[in-house]
Structure 1
Amino acid sequence: MSAYDTLLYDVTDGVAVITFNRHEARNALSRAALADLRAALSVAREDDSIGAVVFTGAGEKAFVAGADISQLRSSSLHTGSSRRCSAPSTRWSRSRSRRSPQ
């Protein structure tokens, strides 16, 4: 039995197997899936009997399709917060204009 809504978690012979279990969405990474993944990895990290973690995806079509695009419209790609992405940072343009060390 899994304690996660979007993942299956199993440990056999020192190997934790994390299965992304949203096959209807090609295992797209939703906020809930990412929260479940963080929690599962924390459990694996704390268990001294685990020597390896294997990731797999449920279903026949995809391992993980990527981000759940239905949630991207209202989220920042960098923070996952509920705000739209802002204009490109001026830090990038300033860093490109600096001279290289010689």
Structure 2
Amino acid sequence: MAKGDILKAALSNPNRGPHQTALIRSAIYKEMEQFTATRRLPPSLDASEICRILAPIDRHLTPDDYDRLHKFSDFLAVIDTSPNAHPGYHLLGEKLSADLGL
């Protein structure tokens, strides 16, 4: 599978709720194992941090969450080939806020 496809497959699962969130979180971990352009994300932004921000386990996913997850899967698909690819401002903003203790 190409990068981003594992996450896209998890997002297309018709089952909503905790089962799909678990699939999405697992897909993020698998995608990050394949991640090669390490300088494109802050060093402390690992799979568990991405899951905490994009697919929190303590609530149901909202349409905005799904939108951010789709943007992240698109980012993963082109990270190695497009110098203009970015992981999404929400993801980086959440990480920056956490790092600053806000």
Shorter-chain TM band: under 0.3
Comparing both structures, which one devotes a greater share of its residues to strand?
Answer: 1
Comparing both structures, which one devotes a greater share of its residues to helix?
Answer: 2
- Give the structure with higher Rg (CA): 1
**TM-score, with length taken from structure 1:** 0.28
* Structure possessing the higher relative contact order (Cα contacts under 8 Å, 6 or more residues apart): 2
**TM-score, with length taken from structure 2:** 0.28
